[in-house]
Amino acid sequence: MDKDELTRWALASGWQMLAGHPSLTKPRSPKEAIVRLVLKATVVHVEVKKPAGKWEKMTGAAYGDIQPDPDTGLPIGLGLDTITGFTMLMQDNKDRQVFARMTGGAP
């Protein structure tokens, strides 16, 4: 997967662009990013915001090492499937966006 493919996957999977990065937000504070993808020229990093407000790199990989899962589309090789609570956070963000569209509110 390349930078554009990862961005398209993220936005279709409940992520939103915050401060120039595809990001997941807190369930109770949907405007504050707590997980973000930092897409660089040759690599992508997954960063998590610590309670003190500092971003910490959790995992990263070169674009060539990342492939979409044939069943779920989840990028394999980036470690997203191994981060505890990640899939639940991603589903919560996606559900919130879908619900906001149904009710006419902003995500």
Q: Where are the domains of the chain?
A: 3-103
Q: Are 50 and 82 in contact (CB under 8 A)?
A: no
pTM of the model: 0.83
Report the percent of the chain where pLDDT is more than 70: 95
Long-range contacts of residues 15-23, Cβ cutoff 8 Å, at least 24 apart? 15/90, 15/93, 16/93, 16/97, 16/107
Residue 33 corresponds to which tokens in the numbers above? 């990013």
pLDDT tens for residues 44-77?
999 999 988 999 999 999 999 999 989 888 899 9
**pLDDT value of position 105:** 59
**pLDDT value of position 57:** 95
Dihedral sign for Cα 59, 63, 65, 70, please: positive
Range of weakest confidence among 27-36, 76-85, 93-102: 93-102
**pLDDT value of position 87:** 82
